[in-house]
Chain A
Amino acid sequence: METRAEHLVPGTGQLWSYPLRAYEYWLRSYRRTWRGSVISSLVNPVLYLTALGVGLGSVMKRNGNALGVPYVDYVAPGMLGATCMQIASFESAYPIMAAIRWTRQFHAMLATPLRIRDVIVGHQLYVASRVAFVSAVYLGIIAAFGAVRSPMAIAAWPVAIILGLAFSAPVSAMAAWLQKDEGFNALFRFGVTPMFLFSGTFFPVTQLPHGFREIAYATPLWHAVDLMRHLTLGTATLWPALGHVAYLLAWFAAGMLLARRTYTNRLVT
């Protein structure tokens, strides 16, 4: 055996680094658009919190706010959760379909030592990083709006990341399964947008009629928002908090298992 390629032969000892190699592709790809993306993640929270929190909030105050807290304090964690959901869903929809069908970058990765699980995990790491950055900025801006009432709020950060994963795993599984990108219209029309509006983001789920209320309780967004809201308001208690986190992790785990199947069916033929 010649020795020239020896140093490149992957040993099992470095298997942990494989997902990071795939992760690096996404970071490099993100560098093309990072400026615009960073600016939106700074500007959007300010705009939303000003319009909804301060603007709408002052109207509500005058008419008697039944929420028990200023509206900006109520809506801020809701907006944070909704934003994380949207970013995680977008980053797992078209980019995954592109990597399979258009740029075919996943095929390129799989021709190297990387395996299906590395391809999946590398992308989830990237989405988690995106959500981590955006949610950290968002939490800072919420604090600047005076809408953080407890140091517990710091725990909303990991919850935001777990929320992102609870969406990115199943959405990327779906993206690998779909034949055409039209399928994403259904995802956003019947999944993401209704959740954005009705999962306790802007108003309590208890305002929904029976039937719809139960659906809202089943969404991962409601669990994340409810927990983050208790954390920023300082009213969180341990067991419900753990219940919410477990529910989000269950979505993530189920999404990963599904992704393993759909990626394999699409890429290993």
Chain B
Amino acid sequence: MSAGEALIHARGLTKRFGDLTAVDGIDFDVQRGEAFGFLGPNGAGKSSTMRMIGCVSPVTDGTLHVLGLDPARDGPQIRGRIGVVPQLDTLDNELTVRENLLIYGRYFGLSRRESRERADSLLEFVQLAERATDTVEPLSGGMKRRLTIARSLVNDPELMLLDEPTTGLDPQARHAVWDRLFRLKRQGVTLVLTTHYMDEAEQLCDRLVIMDRGKIAEEGSPLELIRRLSTREVVELRFPGDVPEVTPDVFDGRVARIEPLPDRLLLYTDDGDALVPRAHERLKPSSVLVRRSTLEDVFLRLTGRTLVD
């Protein structure tokens, strides 16, 4: 692999299941050391893409190189150098926490001694050392996720694939996972993750692509995408009854765009506070909230739909 080549390189990458096209000819590159995200709603093709990168799902069409290698030919070599946190846990609930790591280390060909050493240091890393000899079954969702992250690190991977790493976790558990991922990022591990949480994408990703219906809609850093595709601020208006129909010209050019949602109206503007009195006067909302634009707004603009229904 030459120094300039991307860690993951995809051109026209396609995955079809019978008549269904899950991933529809996408192009992207992931550079060494970056945290790269696939943001999109369920069914956008994120997991299918991840499974192709992880060499567990054959590519239907297009080009895919991972670590400069071809998944179709070099699957075992590639998988030996990456760490995978799958969407559904694949822990053995009846084995102990430590045994799950030991056995996984052995899959990678670590010696028993290496496996034990890695297991112990990784249990420290994910703060599960006290639970080492407990079976996995009674652990909380957050602990299981941390154990899965520890397990994905036994082979000291250059690249980590995290498929919805915090879906289903409570806020505290999510922060614990994010904290570990930040540390890994600082250590220079390349992270590729999928999420349908915009805050997760904003927190963790240096660069991301927004996926919708198997295609990449936009690409950039979170900040760049927000700057390019949304306004600085958003005024959210809620109403006692139906959401009224309005056009931006009501606000004398101060509103760039209006998104009507079933329960509220979003006004995109560069100065939210300045807009509030006018909004009150003209639309009589029951509540008004001024906030910064997020990736959610970018997604809404691109697809006309919200990320999490």
User: Which residues of A are found within 8 Å of B81, using beta-carbon distances?
Assistant: 5, 8-9
Interface residue tally for chain B (C-beta within 8 Å): 35
A8 partner, pick from B54, B102, B104, B155, beta carbons under 8 A = B155
Task: Tell yes or no: B169 within 8 A of A by CB.
Answer: no
Q: Which among A14, A24, A113, A269 is the interface contact of B57 at CB below 8 angstroms?
A: A269
Bound: A108/B92 CA distance, A:
9
Picked from A5, A21, A107, the residue with its CB within 8 Å of the CB of B86 is: A107
**Do most interface residues of chain B lie in helix, strand or loop, or is the interface mixed?**
loop
Check A24 against B90 for contact (C-beta < 8 Å).
no
CB <8 Å contact, A28 and B104: no
Which residue of chain B is the closest to A28 with respect to CB atoms? B103
Asked whether, in the complex, the Cβ of B89 is within 8 Å of the Cβ of A104, the reply is yes
Interface pick from B71-79, B207-215, B253-261, B263-271: B71-79
Verify A21–B84 contact, CB threshold 8 A: no
What's the nearest-Cβ distance from chain A to residue B41, in Å? 21
Binds A, one of B107-115, B238-246, B299-307: B107-115
* Cα A105 to Cα B107 with chains together (Å): 11
Determine whether A238 belongs to the interface, using a CB cutoff of 8 Å to chain B: no
- Chain A residues with Cβ below 8 Å from B91 are 103, 108
Known contacts A8-B80, A9-B81; is A1 also within 8 Å of B1 by CB?
A: yes
B158 within 8 A of A: yes
Tell whether, in the assembled complex, residue A4 and residue B156 are in contact, meaning their CB atoms are under 8 Å apart: yes
Asked whether B56 lies within 8 Å of A113 as measured between CB atoms, the reply is: no
Q: Are B93 and A103 in contact (CB under 8 A)?
A: yes
Interface positions of A from 68 to 119, Cβ below 8 Å from B: 103-105, 107-115
Give the residue name and chain of the A residue nearest to B151 (CB). A108
Nearest A residue (CB) for B188: A2
Question: Would you call B58 an interface residue if the criterion is a C-beta within 8 Å of the partner chain's C-beta atoms?
Answer: yes
Q: A268, B80: Cβ atoms under 8 Å?
A: no
- The reply to whether A115 and B76 contact each other, CB–CB distance below 8 Å, is yes
Residue of A nearest to B81 (CB): A5
Interface string of A231-269 (1 = CB under 8 A from B): 000000000000000000000000000000000000111
B92 touches A112 (CB 8 A): no
Q: Kindly state the separation between the CA atoms of A225 and B287 in the bound complex, as whole angstroms.
A: 82
Task: Determine whether A212 belongs to the interface, using a CB cutoff of 8 Å to chain B.
Answer: no
Q: Cα distance A2–B103 when bound, in Å? A: 26
The answer to whether A112 touches B75 (Cβ under 8 A) is no
Judge whether B107 and A114 touch: CB under 8 Å. yes
Do A113 and B79 touch (CB < 8 A)?
yes
- Specify the chain B residue showing the minimal Cβ separation from A103: B92
A207 within 8 A of B: no
Say whether B79 contacts A111, CB under 8 Å.
yes
When the two chains form their complex, are residues B99 and A28 in contact, meaning their CB atoms are under 8 A apart? yes
**A17 within 8 Å of B by Cβ?**
yes
The one of B1, B84, B156 that contacts A111, using a Cβ cutoff of 8 Å: B84
CB contacts (< 8 Å) of A180 on chain B: these are none
CB of A107 within 8 A of CB of B110, answer no
| Chain A residues whose C-beta falls within 8 Å of the C-beta of B76 in the assembled complex | 10, 15, 18, 113-115
Given A21-B109, A268-B56: A32 and B86 interface contact (C-beta under 8 Å): no
Distance A2 CA – B1 CA, assembled complex (angstroms): 11
**Most chain A beta-carbon neighbours within 10 Å: one of B90, B95, B102:** B90
Q: Is the CB of A5 within 8 A of B158?
A: yes
Shortest 4 CB-CB contacts between residues of A and residues of B:
A108-B90, A112-B107, A113-B76, A104-B90
Q: Which B residues are closer than 8 A to A by beta carbons?
A: 1, 17, 54, 56-58, 75-77, 79-81, 84, 86, 88-95, 99, 102-104, 106-110, 155-158
- Beyond the given pairs A107-B88, A114-B76, 14 more chain A to chain B contacts, judged by CB atoms under 8 angstroms and listed by A's residue number, are A4-B156, A8-B81, A8-B156, A9-B81, A24-B106, A32-B95, A103-B91, A103-B94, A104-B90, A105-B92, A107-B56, A111-B56, A112-B104, A114-B107
Q: 21 pairs across A/B with beta carbons < 8 Å?
A: A5-B155, A5-B157, A8-B108, A8-B156, A10-B80, A21-B106, A21-B107, A29-B92, A29-B94, A32-B95, A103-B90, A104-B90, A105-B90, A105-B92, A108-B92, A110-B56, A111-B56, A112-B79, A113-B107, A114-B76, A115-B76
